[in-house]
Amino acid sequence: MASAAEQLASNINFGAIAKADELKKRIWFTLGALVVFRLGTYIPLPGIDTEALRQSFQQASGGVLGLFNMFSGGAVERMAIFALNIMPYISASIIVQLLTSVVPSLEALKKEGESGRKVINQYTRYITVVLALFQSWGIAVGLQGSGNIVQEPGPFFLISTVITLTGGTLFLMWLGEQITSRGIGNGSSLIIFAGIVAHLPSAIAGTLELGRQGAISTGLILGVVVMAVAVIFFIVVMERAQRRLLINYPKRQVGNRMYEGQTSFLPLKLNTAGVIPPIFASSLLLLPATFASFTAGTDGGTGIVSTLAAFLGHGRPAYIVLYAFLIVFFAFFYTAVVFNPQETADNLKKHGGFVPGIRPGERTAEHIDYVLTRVTVIGAAYLTIICLLPELLVSYAALRFYFGGTSLLIIVSVTMDTVAQVHGHLLAHQYEGLVRKSKLKGARRR
């Protein structure tokens, strides 16, 4: 597994990037698009008192808003036009994936190929608009009801906020699609990646300032650095880990020629669910803290929501136990959504492939499901360990680390995917160069 990462790094000739004009254009386009995204996170909504907003956000930053603020690169605390970020689009994509597995018509569209995917993508955009409208309306009403944050409350502020935030999300959705088609990497993932990385310097500076003030010991800071390096290495190894099922194809005759049987592998990733389980789990557990911050002035801190928020605070045993349980649950649930053993077995049978010793069809589906379940156990345990380490630090040092396992998981996964795409473009460029040289040699010989 580690050798695969070393081989990928060794095969990339970064000096060849300067000769690959198409790759350079893609890289510059991606960087320009991310700069546009970062500029938008500093443009506040019209009619907002930024100082009052800053004070109010500090009270509510311990909830789900703090998590979304990290993903948006600080756009939430500034209430910028990109405050919703691309999260409605991510949520819509997950909803469509869930519906595809339970709605027969959507499942049939998925099997139609490119035309079906276009229709599904259009449905995803429609749901994105609905979610963005709903969330932006909630933000507008919440801002207007939070005291002196809004300078001129009224219908005009509500409508303008809804239009601005929804438009910002739709623009980021379009920008992400442009990065995917004309740039390098997955556009949506890179936008979230840029938001997290942009928040990293302030998080490091805050930690160092706490160390200077004596709130954190130097040994603890060094321990956090060592742990971060170890976690990154662990993530790289585990994200590249696969369980490869041997697939055999029998001999076949085409015309008068007999082709020998072939052997290939069906790769089953250790972490099929990706970063979805920790994001869902943390969002659910941070909801009580968010509601408690909004109702702090109405129940005096003695209501059910406030009690639940205190019981599920960072570092508390109940929080850690529920966090681990939700990560494991969503790891199995989302894996079952995105990977269908029966469909995979049917495709193998259609192309004549079979697992040695396993009968094609239903038996193969059961075997793939058996292996996938056991692989997912390891993947869920890996996600739980990665995400619980920061929580244990919170419990030990009584500090809040939003740059935990989820953030590192997103950063490392997106980096690996982007590097792999750069590697693919370099290989294509080198292949085109070899073909061009062979044609020139052939022309000279003639």
Segment 425-440 shows an average pLDDT of 69
Phi and psi torsions of 257, nearest 5°? -105, 140
Phi and psi torsions of 153, nearest 5°? -65, 155
pLDDT > 90? residue 167: yes
Which pLDDT score, from 0 to 100, does residue 287 have? 65
Q: Round to whole Å and give the CA distance between 162 and 301.
A: 31
Which pLDDT score, from 0 to 100, does residue 306 have? 63
Structure tokens at 321: 């136990």
Set out the domains of the chain in order of their start, with CATH numbers: 217-398 (1.10.3370.10)
pLDDT > 70? residue 265: yes
Which helix H or strand E contains 259, and what residues bound it?
A: strand 257-259
Query: Rounded mean pLDDT of the chain?
Result: 79
Q: What is the DSSP letter of 404?
A: S
Which pLDDT score, from 0 to 100, does residue 171 have? 95
Structure tokens at 59: 């009270």
User: What percentage of residues in the chain have a pLDDT greater than 90?
Assistant: 12
Which pLDDT score, from 0 to 100, does residue 5 have? 44
Q: Round to whole Å and give the CA distance between 157 and 160.
A: 5
Which pLDDT score, from 0 to 100, does residue 344 have? 86
Close Cβ partners of 318 (under 8 Å, ≥ 6 residues apart): 311, 312
- Higher-pLDDT residue of 193 and 215 is 193
82-122 pLDDT, tens digit per residue, is: 888 888 888 888 888 888 877 888 878 877 777 888 888 89
pLDDT > 60? residue 6: no
Most confident residue range from 29-43, 72-86, 255-269 = 29-43
Contact 383, 333 (CB under 8 A): no
User: What percentage of residues in the chain have a pLDDT greater than 70?
Assistant: 77
Closest to 304 in 3D by CA, of 313, 295, 314, 315: 295
Segment 412-432 shows an average pLDDT of 80
Closest to 313 in 3D by CA, of 63, 77, 57, 61: 63
The rounded Cα 266 to chain-centroid distance in angstroms is 24
pLDDT > 80? residue 286: no
The rounded Cα 324 to chain-centroid distance in angstroms is 19
130-157 pLDDT, tens digit per residue, is: 988 988 888 888 788 777 788 888 888 8
Segment 43-49 shows an average pLDDT of 84
Confidence of residue 334 (pLDDT cuts 50, 70, 90): confident
Among positive and negative, which fits the CA dihedral 185, 39, 146, 319? positive
